[in-house]
């Protein structure tokens, strides 16, 4: 007995997604209108562009929701996506840099950021790889992932592909997305079925490594790091992290003005559209530091409500992953939830000075079509997975009742 998939649409995920998307369009207009006027353009240009991406996203959600999940599990499909993504990352290196980093492909007024798509692709790839060796993981734990060797010796080894992707992103250089992709890989390892001690070990290793790195930069001085060809522009972000007000007109310009924006907002904010900092004081107010403007205009209370909606949606996605009986479905859902959590915390950490600014956008609220599209595709996958799992469960219960 087949039941139509539309009866299993998870509104506890879809409704928050729609709410955040609409709020995002309002925030994009608020944060970009002044910038566009300063540039001599129309105040609606960027919000119209974002709206077009959202409409494409809605069509994508409809198509992906109706798609058979078996299609996503085909090795040929995964391999084609991997090859295309590698080619796009390489091609982006030959386009003009933005804020000191390559990573955007621009032509005929259209632009895309391949590293944004990599966040979901790496989840898909690792879920596909780890799903095939679930029985081995259950028996041999982490050794099933390494095939008994800490050094990968095959080109299709998940470690080779992951390191290749990371290497391409780092050389752009794109510190923010490289950080997020690294954390996503750790999340995927932790939900693959291996013992929890490996996740604790990896987390401890990252904490120690980050502490040593920041300590070394502090001891050697930012000027030394700035001489490294690939990481020259990143040195400014480390300088701002250590003391943004020491060079508030240069390296610390973004972070110091982010502090001013959040301070201006207080509890209830200055009112939608009334931000001071977005009017030429805070660079990237519509992308990396959009949430600072949200706090300035809507206050801590308004920003907290938006975070509550976002975290509720992420929690519902986690529930889908926990309840999924199929390992591939579970890893996909948990990986997508992890992607959203990591991106949110890395952005908030950057704008608040808890970690060096990484250029990571805030989900839904920052202007960026690629970011919105990849989040929408991720939500579509989760909606499909949840409907598939619930339909199978109900059909089994009906069959047991009948027979």
- Residues 314 and 339: their CA atoms lie apart, in Å, by 10
The pLDDT, as a whole number, for residue 62 is 94
If pLDDT is split at 50, 70 and 90, which confidence band does 335 have?
A: very high
Strands 105-107 and 110-112, how do they pair? antiparallel
Across 359-377, average pLDDT: 90
Per the structure, how many domains does the chain have? 1
The pLDDT, as a whole number, for residue 23 is 96
Assess whether pLDDT exceeds 70 at residue 237: no
The pLDDT, as a whole number, for residue 217 is 66
Cβ neighbours of residue 32 closer than 8 Å, sequence gap 6 or more:
43, 45, 46, 47, 286, 367
* pTM assigned to the model: 0.90
Q: What is the pLDDT of residues 28-70, one digit of tens each?
A: 999 888 778 877 777 888 899 899 999 999 999 999 999 888 8
Give the rounded distance of the alpha carbon of 42 from its chain centre.
29
Assess whether pLDDT exceeds 70 at residue 247: no
- Average confidence score pLDDT of the chain: 85
List the domain range (segments joined by +) for residue 203.
5-402
Assess whether pLDDT exceeds 90 at residue 354: no
If pLDDT is split at 50, 70 and 90, which confidence band does 345 have?
A: very high
If pLDDT is split at 50, 70 and 90, which confidence band does 140 have?
A: confident
- Residues 83 and 302: their CA atoms lie apart, in Å, by 43
Q: What is the pLDDT of residues 87-112, one digit of tens each?
A: 999 988 888 777 666 777 877 667 78
194-198, 314-318, 364-368: least confident range? 194-198
What does 122-158 look like in DSSP terms, one character per residue?
A: HHHHHHHHHHTTHHHHHHHTTHHHHTT-SS--STT-H
Assess whether pLDDT exceeds 70 at residue 15: yes
């Amino acid at each position: 007995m087949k039941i139509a998939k539309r009866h299993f649409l998870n509104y506890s995920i879809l409704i928050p997604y729609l709410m955040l998307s609409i709020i995002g369009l309002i925030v994009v207009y608020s944060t970009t209108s002044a910038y566009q006027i300063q540039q001599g353009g129309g105040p609606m240009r960027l919000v119209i562009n974002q709206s077009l991406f959202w409409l494409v996203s809605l069509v994508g959600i409809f198509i992906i929701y109706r798609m058979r999940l078996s299609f996503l599990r085909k090795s040929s499909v995964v391999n084609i996506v991997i090859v295309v993504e590698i080619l796009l990352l390489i091609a982006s290196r030959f386009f003009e840099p933005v804020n000191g980093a390559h990573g955007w492909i621009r032509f005929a007024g259209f632009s895309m950021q391949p590293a944004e798509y990599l966040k979901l692709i790496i989840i898909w790839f690792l879920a596909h790889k780890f799903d095939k060796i679930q029985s081995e993981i259950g028996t041999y734990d982490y050794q099933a992932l390494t095939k008994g060797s800490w050094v990968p010796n095959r080109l299709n080894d998940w470690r080779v592909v992951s390191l290749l992707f990371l290497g391409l992103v780092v050389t752009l250089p794109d510190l923010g997305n490289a950080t997020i992709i690294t954390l996503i890989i750790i999340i995927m390892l932790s939900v693959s079925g291996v013992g929890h001690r490996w996740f604790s070990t990896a987390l401890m290793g990252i904490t120690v490594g980050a502490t040593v790195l920041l300590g070394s930069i502090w001891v050697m001085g930012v000027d030394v790091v700035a001489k490294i060809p690939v990481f020259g522009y990143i040195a400014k972000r480390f300088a701002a992290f250590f003391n943004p007000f020491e060079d508030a007109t240069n390296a610390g310009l973004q972070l110091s003005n982010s502090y001013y924006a959040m301070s201006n907002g207080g509890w209830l904010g200055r009112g939608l559209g009334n931000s001071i900092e977005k009017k030429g004081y805070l660079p990237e107010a519509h992308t990396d530091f959009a949430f600072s403007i949200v706090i300035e205009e809507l206050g801590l209370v308004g920003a907290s409500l938006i975070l509550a909606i976002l975290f509720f949606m992420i929690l519902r996605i986690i529930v889908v992953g926990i309840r999924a009986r199929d390992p591939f479905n579970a890893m996909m859902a948990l990986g997508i939830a992890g992607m959203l959590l990591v991106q949110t915390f890395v952005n908030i950490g950057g704008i608040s000075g808890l970690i060096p600014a990484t250029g990571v956008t805030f989900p839904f609220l920052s202007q960026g079509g690629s970011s919105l599209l990849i989040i929408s595709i991720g939500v579509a996958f989760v909606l499909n997975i949840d409907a598939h799992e619930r339909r199978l469960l109900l059909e089994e219960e009906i069959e047991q009742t009948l027979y």
